[in-house]
Structure 1
Amino acid sequence: MNDSASLPLAGVKVLDLTRILAGPWSTQLLADYGADVIKVERPGSGDDTRSWGPPYAVDGEAAYFHTANRNKKSAAINIASSEGAGLIRKLLGQCDIVVENYKVGGLAKYGLDYETVSAEHPRIIYCSITGFGQTGPNSHRPGYDYLIQAMTGLMSITGQPAGSPGDEPMKVGVAVSDLFTGLYAATAILAALRKAEATGSGSHLDVALHDCQLATLANQAMNFLATGDSPKRLGNAHPSIVPYQVFDTANGHIVVAVGNDQQFHSFCQALGRPDLCQTVRWQTNRGRVEDRDNLLAEIIPVLKTRSTEEWEDRFDGAGIPHSPIRSVGDALQSTQTQARSQLIDHGRGLRTVGQPVPFAGQPVEPPPSLGAHTDTVLQQYLGYGEADVRALRKQGVIG
């Protein structure tokens, strides 16, 4: 086991009242950075994603659960019972941060809402993650990644162009709205932690999937704000750069990402078509975007004359950004992934994708089995004895 005492969040205690992905993603990041994260789960069933399979990992848990729950402690406590809610309130009093993703107002009946908690613990950092935030006409609606992608316009710019084969708005292949929200939540928590340490004042962080996904529309949102025209689906093409897309080769596909005029000059040389970069209207990116169709009509047939591997060799030598389209399995087993130590081997055949920005001494504990740390948490945090724990378990308060 690694020594985590030197990690940036060593000594910080987090009460994790979240499930599924956005909340667990944020608290996993805090755990990776050294925070002591207690994940409170329903006895008997736990986080919803424990049953989101197949596929399942070697420990019998759904592979989905292993996505966002490493380096945490699992305490199975029945929040619906008055005794269980009382235990959680006591645990909260020992923590610096609480992260929850209940429906708006859902924790008030347990005395775990922000107003109640902050009155007793003014330094607490209380992060609420919901689909639409604590205010607004949709605040009480449930929010899932898929519908957020639809509502924020992301699906309207993902997929093949209107009128082409396979034309249909598409969601992204992973739950990016959840993941973006988890990252925004974690960075906000870290900023609030800095504030609390400096001023002694806590914060209520109102984090919404809808808001975070709107923010990460990035250049596409600005394109609308600048022109008043909603961006359209372009398939694998880029709205503001050409050539920057997938091309067919003699035996497959290749992505070419020409990011500036000098790269376009090199690309034309590697393509064996130096005349393309001598054409005045294509010498600047603006001209290439405005005359996209005519330029692509020249490029596409040439790329079909050689294999992906041949083009890779040519583009490598010319310094042109490019890549074959790998499967997930190929990406995870690539030499680059191995060189960067991006897979964590937990033993017994269980592996997870690692933390992309690691610190020395980072913990590598696998996601916990349901209730694996219930006894330890109650004894170490609240000073309960073994007899107290047995009594709570007999009453059904804990699992």
Structure 2
Amino acid sequence: MTGTPPLDDITVIDCTQMLSGPFATQLLADLGADVIKVERPGQGDITRNVGPEIGDSGISAYFASLNRGKRSVELDLSTGEGAAALESLAETADVLVENYRPGTMAGWGLGYDDLRSVNEDLIYCSITGFLNGPHRDLPAFDMVVQALAGSMSITGQPDGPPARPGIPIGDICAGTYAVVGITTALYSGGGRRVEVPMFEGLVSWLTERAARTFVTDEPYPRLGTVHPTLAPYRAFETADGWFAVAIGSEGTWRELCDAIARPDLMTDDRFETNDDRVANRDALAAELEGIFERKTAAEWFELFRDHGLPGAPVRNTIEVFEDDHLRASGTLADLEIDGVDLPFPVCPIEFSGATKRSGHGQPRLGEHTDSVLSEVLPIETVTALLQQGE
């Protein structure tokens, strides 16, 4: 792929930490934006100190996964000098992203109205826990949002407690919506405030789960890997692991029966249609469980691919990065930190005639303070700020 990245001429001021904001600005950096990460002097992003550490580098895996290719500037935004420096950066920036509690940036004189007075074209994106309403000031951690938004209630086994999905979907949902909001604002000419909530964003992801609830007037059930309206649609245990099967049509059901050499299942009154299979899902599972135990997950994957059937092994997070497809598709950016190989995935969107940034390491705390601030401030002011941070 050749050409410049889609956001090559966009400058983003990143006043975020933890996950939702850094995930959003990491996507923007992958798409070519110059992301200036503003961090607290001497401390930086909270995730710099959340282990495990990569070798003996002093860099945490958490921080490295979300801050590749950014430039780090140390500024204490709660001081007049730090706020003034950020204001100078904002004069020529295209986007500012922040995920402090509502009102924090405005309390420092750095709210949307404050910075709009120096740059009316600035897109000011705030990632919050909640939009205006009774929950507005609640601390918005990912699990709190998942609990309130209903996703935990439908995750886990039917006879088990609610579970938090293994991926922090509340944070990632908000970060993704932030990028949608920012790029939409860029397309429409800039100069506006964008607010992206974690809670309302995650509620919007309920989609079909919400529709089913409205129609049945019942809470969506917790089903593990089972689908409420399709069968067989679940994970089956194999000779060496688990295999996910997703049969969504009568045609694929018939093909599955042929592939497993059980054509008799097609003519079984209990399984003739999808509605029949759903009504008799336990009996169907009993028929299939013994079959799937006879082969390994890899053998089932090969068989399913040969027959064009939807199914795949349930991989762990080591196995997934050994997948040749990821390497072939160009979605991994190879980094090496203190002898540790880190094939991080980059933004997976592809554009004709354009490329994405990759292979860029994460910044040391304050690594670019001097060079970045020297672009917008007199040298004596930069020197004074650097001395304050010592």
Q: Given the two structures, how large is their TM-score scaled by the length of structure 2?
A: 0.92
Q: Which residue matches 2:317?
A: 328
Higher mean alpha-carbon deviation, 256-265 vs 344-353, is at 344-353
Residue 300 in structure 1 maps to residue 289 in structure 2:
yes
Q: Residue 90 of structure 2 contacts residue 118 of structure 2 at CA under 8 Å; is this kept in 1?
A: no
Q: Which residue matches 1:44?
A: 42
Could you say what secondary structure the match of 2:374 adopts?
A: helix
Could you say what secondary structure the match of 1:338 adopts?
A: helix
Letter in 2 for 1:354: V
Percent identity, please: 38
Q: Which residue matches 1:155?
A: 152
Q: Which residue matches 1:286?
A: 275
CA-CA distance at 1:242 after TM superposition: 0.9
Q: Which residue matches 2:113?
A: 115
Equivalent pairs, count: 384
Q: 1:310 to 1:14 in 2, by over 3 A?
A: closer
Q: Which residue matches 2:205?
A: 216
How big is the alpha-carbon RMSD for the aligned residues of Structure 1 and Structure 2?
Answer: 2.0
Letter in 2 for 1:115: D
Hey, what's the Cα distance between the residues in 1 that align with 2:12 and 2:238? Answer: 51
1:168 maps to which of 161, 167, 170? 161
Q: Residue 64 of structure 2 contacts residue 362 of structure 2 at CA under 8 Å; is this kept in 1?
A: yes
Could you say what secondary structure the match of 2:189 adopts?
A: helix
Q: Which residue matches 1:374?
A: 369
Q: Residue 3 of structure 1 contacts residue 363 of structure 1 at CA under 8 Å; is this kept in 2?
A: no
CA-CA distance at 1:388 after TM superposition: 3.5
Hey, what's the Cα distance between the residues in 2 that align with 1:235 and 1:207? Answer: 30
Q: Residue 87 of structure 2 contacts residue 118 of structure 2 at CA under 8 Å; is this kept in 1?
A: no
CA-CA distance at 1:108 after TM superposition: 1.7
Q: Residue 92 of structure 2 contacts residue 119 of structure 2 at CA under 8 Å; is this kept in 1?
A: no
User: Per-residue CA shift, 1:217-258, capped at 9, x if unaligned?
Assistant: 222122112221111111111122211111122343221111
Matches within 5 A, 1:301-380: 301-348=290-337, 349=339, 350-351=341-342, 352-358=344-350, 360-364=354-358, 365-380=360-375
Q: Which residue matches 1:145?
A: 142
Q: Which residue matches 1:260?
A: 249
CA-CA distance at 1:109 after TM superposition: 2.0
Q: 1:60 to 1:119 in 2, by over 3 A?
A: same
CA-CA distance at 1:280 after TM superposition: 4.3
Q: Which residue matches 2:95?
A: 97
Hey, what's the Cα distance between the residues in 2 that align with 1:314 and 1:123? Answer: 56
Hey, what's the Cα distance between the residues in 1 that align with 2:355 and 2:116? Answer: 33
Structure 1 unaligned spans of 5+ = none
Hey, what's the Cα distance between the residues in 2 that align with 1:388 and 1:116? Answer: 21
Letter in 1 for 2:257: C
Could you say what secondary structure the match of 2:357 adopts?
A: coil
Q: Given the two structures, how large is their TM-score scaled by the length of structure 1?
A: 0.90
Hey, what's the Cα distance between the residues in 2 that align with 1:312 and 1:100? Answer: 44
Q: 1:88 to 1:234 in 2, by over 3 A?
A: same
Q: 1:3 to 1:91 in 2, by over 3 A?
A: farther
Q: Which residue matches 2:260?
A: 271
Q: Residue 127 of structure 2 contacts residue 195 of structure 2 at CA under 8 Å; is this kept in 1?
A: yes
User: Per-residue CA shift, 1:294-318, capped at 9, x if unaligned?
Assistant: 2222222222234434433432322
Q: 1:363 to 1:305 in 2, by over 3 A?
A: closer
Q: 1:88 to 1:249 in 2, by over 3 A?
A: same
Hey, what's the Cα distance between the residues in 2 that align with 1:36 and 1:250? Answer: 49
CA-CA distance at 1:3 after TM superposition: 9.3
